[in-house]
Amino acid sequence: MKFVASKLPQHLGQSGWVQMLPPRTPRASLNGTVNVDVVVIGGGFAGLSAARRLSQLDPKLKVAVLEAGEIAEGATGRNSGFIIDLPHEVSSEDYGGGETDERRHDIKVHRMAIALARDLAVEKGWGKDIFDPCGKYNVALGPQGDKHVVSYAKELDKVNEAYRLFDAKEIAAVTGTTSFTSAIFTPGTVIIQPAAYIRGLADSFSGPVRLFENTPALSFERQGSSWCVKTPNGAVNAGKMILANNGQAQNFGIFRGVLLHVYTYASMTEAFDPSLMGGERSWAATPAFPMGTTVRRVKGEEGDRFLIRSRYTYNPTMRVSEGAIERAGRVHDRKFEARFPMLKGVRMQYRWAGAMALTWNGVPAFGEIEPGLFAAIACNGVGATKATASGIAAAEAALGIDSWLVQVFKGFSAPKRLPPQPFLTIGATANLSMKEWSAGLE
């Protein structure tokens, strides 16, 4: 069977993470035909982590990674930069819904992703501006959030995970604002500059691992015992193939009818004089209330910046408009002003949208879907963590290694079929709107 791309990825808005970095010369696009052992489609967290794991397992393995655009221009470079060990949302419903052993199980998977990232950081000699094992806060803005903070602490007690609770005065000393009413700090999260991280991972490859940028896969098909991937100016023949392009897999007709395409939005301020407010100059916080607002203060040589991320939309066509980014930006402006009134006059410099692929039952789309074709799709949010782990597992599975991690991913149930249209769009849009309304200022 031949799989043909119906359309190529689209990315709107300027990611502040990319704009903060110096220009980078992309790797050359593919021109001609290459023969490799494994071809990886997608140069994000999943694809590049898969390539790194392949090279660790067999340094002589010939690997080709195809990235449709330039590294960090896609969803990875639009990420908020949290590689978490504990669940992202502070809610007993989200965290404590299963058995305690299942929660420990998830944490172990997350920490395997962190281990790969940490090894890379040591290898590259990165400082805290790219890789910072500083932990994260979950912050509350009122009684609802306060209840979730307390509930989360009780769930962490069940699995013997370390944390520290902060009252309003204590979290104000960290954040420099009196807007937050409480918080919980967990020490295991790593904070990254996502564009710098993924660039560094991409540029670490040499020898038998070759990266081709601006090289979209236009089609692929099984030919005898290998896979042939066609690109605009060339082709790759490979014995094994790893599909790590998240929601774009649907454009090849794969996992059609099981992927939910949701976009999240972010804004980043211009650099401001750090003397304008107190608190620590570098910290990261996710919302205590689900669907609330993620905030990061980013220390820089030219001054500090704030990242504000909130707002979600369901986009089944995998296209987002400039108008949607503008509307989300107005929400970000209100939330920024509510949290940091002392920074009145500091403007947003960059705004962007980033795609996520979810499944109805929250499981990855993973495994050998055709002979020699392995999928690491659907991170279901928290992409820096889950996509990295999925990429590692896909690499091991492709080489026939039945590791603990591979067993975990194979053990997930299959993604559930989505309801038919127009009920899906109506339901998904209403659900996102209701959750955002419930979050309020959070």
Question: Dihedral, CA atoms, 393, 397, 401, 407, nearest 10 degrees?
Answer: 60
The pLDDT value recorded for residue 188 is: 97
Q: What is the pLDDT of residues 255-284, one digit of tens each?
A: 999 999 999 999 999 999 999 999 999 999
Domains and CATH numbers, the chain: 2-78+196-258+360-418 (3.50.50.60), 130-194+261-359+427-439 (3.30.9.10)
Instruction: Write down the pTM of the prediction.
Output: 0.95
The pLDDT value recorded for residue 291 is: 79
pLDDT band at 101 (very low <50, low <70, confident <90, very high): low
CA–chain centroid gap for 145, Å, is 24
pLDDT band at 137 (very low <50, low <70, confident <90, very high): very high
Q: What is the pLDDT of residues 18-59, one digit of tens each?
A: 999 999 999 999 999 999 999 999 999 999 999 999 999 999
Q: What is the pLDDT of residues 389-431, one digit of tens each?
A: 999 999 999 999 999 999 999 999 999 999 988 878 878 887 8
